[in-house]
Each structure stands twice: as C-alpha cells, then as structure tokens.
Amino acid sequence: MPAQKTQDKPAKFASEGRPLVGMLHLPEGARRDIGVVFCDAFEDERRTTCLAMTRLAREVAARGFAALRFDYWGCGDSPGDFADATVSTRLADIRSASAFLRDEAGVRKLCLLGLRFGATLASQAAEGTADCAALVLIQPEPDGKAYVDSLIKRKLVRGMITRAQGGEQPGGAGADVIDLDGYALTQRTVKEMRECIIAPGRVAFRGPVVVVQVSFNESIRPEARAVCAAYEGAGAKVDVRALVMPPFWSRIDVTATDALNEAVGQWLEGAGDR
C-alpha cells in the first residue's frame, strides 16, 4: 500500500466514567483492518517523547493504519489528578481507548504499541483485550520492581547533586504518597507497578510481538531477551529489532527517530497481513 496523506483529529472518550482526550491519526485513503493504540511512557519520559510518538503515529497512519494517541486519566490534557492514576486505571484507559478506536475507525483488530513502562502496560492490557491481535513493545521494562527502584534512585541522585548532600528517601515509613521529582505516586500505585512483570508464565498473549530495542549498539540486552523469552514461551511469534540510536526518552533535545518509524512501520505492515 503506497504512502497516504493523513489527518489528525482530536478525540474525546470515556474510561469507566472518566473523560479522556487524545488524537486520532487517520489515513485519508484505504484503511487496513488493524488499528494501533499508543500507550505512552511514564512521568517525564512521556513529555520528552511526545514529538517522537506523534511522528510515529503519523508514519503508521501514512501506511494505512488508523492510530490513536491518548492521555491517561490525570496525565497530559486529560483531567484528573496524577496521584489518583494507578496501574489499574491506566489499564482500563488502554482498553477503553482500544474500544474507542475500533468503533471510531471501523477496524476489526487492534495492536497495542507501548514505549518503556507504557510497553509494560500494553503487555498487561493485551491479556484482557479480546481484539488485541499484535504488540509493539519499544524498550519495555520487564521488571516493574526494578523500574520503580530506578526511579527512586534517580530521585536520590538528583537530590545529592542539587543539594550537595545525601538525597532523602522518597516516601518514608508510613507515608501514603511518594514524590518522584514532582510526580506524586500513592503506595497503591507503587505496589501495582512493582507487580508488573513480563516473564515466562506471566503472559499468555500468542499473537505477533515485536520487541524494539534502542541502544548505542546492536547487541541484544538481557531485558529484551527476557521479554522475547516470555512471549516465545507463551507460543507467540516474536521478532526483535535492535536500533542503533540514542535513548530518545532520556534526552531534552530533539532526536531523529526515522529509524524507529521505519522499523515499526515495516513490521506492522507484515503483522497486518498475517
């Protein structure tokens, strides 16, 4: 299918009574039978990757796939308090976004595309989304506990740098809310995040999966191998793409992500024909 012109269309829908906003990216010509729901990264990584994900969504739409980017409850332009958003609400939001895209774009199947912890959430959401036919996991975090610990460690290191002294442990004993660089997480949310695991026996999705690794060399890292092994153990057809490029989610400057757009677009074209 040749590249198409696309249109961006603001979207509003509800998730368990919570209003959410997003952006539809639609091909102006013929549409494929599978739509793509984008699951954003977490905290600051969502902000720093907004432009890259917008460009990726437009690339996907140009290849004939209807796509939906949206803000979770309490995040971005969606109303609500960030501290009230949990893993459970985010998973419900992903499933509601999937139903909205299916109905709005008239697609029969769905692909969940996630970045970083958003890829981890996409992995979890796929287990309960009947119409999910494919997964695109970009630099997923397979161990929720390790990911949360890395956020806490980053907070401590920044505290040491800015105050020239030991950082304060976020959320001491008995504290209900943990402050991670301005993002308030309740103990419930932290607990749920720690329980998000992509490992053999923890996933059952058997559709096509691509794990996209972004690093400074082509060597497949243990985290990517672990995710591949988990889905291969479930019987899924797993591909891996190792892209040599900077980790664009941790940079404040604009990073060229053409290689990511091409890799994901080509894989989706193959997956959409299966």
Q: List alpha helices for the chain, DSSP H.
A: 44-48, 50-62, 87-105, 117-126, 144-163, 187-194, 222-234, 258-272
pLDDT above 60 (res 166):
no
What is the predicted pLDDT for the residue at 171? 52
Collapsing DSSP to helix, strand or coil, 129 comes out as coil
Of the candidates 85, 65, 64, the residue with the CA atom closest to the CA atom of residue 75: 85
- Tell me the whole-structure pTM to 2 decimals: 0.93
* Mean pLDDT value across residues 244-256: 86
What is the predicted pLDDT for the residue at 182? 80
Secondary structure element (H or E) that encloses residue 204, with its range: none
pLDDT above 70 (res 1):
no
Give CA–CA dist 129/160, Å, rounded: 43
Residue spans of the domains in the chain: they are: 6-143+198-272, 144-196
Q: What is the pLDDT of residues 41-95, one digit of tens each?
A: 998 899 999 999 999 999 999 999 999 999 999 999 999 999 999 999 999 999 9
What is the predicted pLDDT for the residue at 173? 47
pLDDT above 90 (res 169):
no
pLDDT above 90 (res 254):
no
Q: What percent of the chain lies above the pLDDT cut of 90?
A: 79
Q: What percent of the chain lies above the pLDDT cut of 70?
A: 92
pLDDT above 70 (res 167):
no
Give CA–CA dist 177/175, Å, rounded: 6
CATH no. for 6-143+198-272: 3.40.50.1820
Collapsing DSSP to helix, strand or coil, 229 comes out as helix
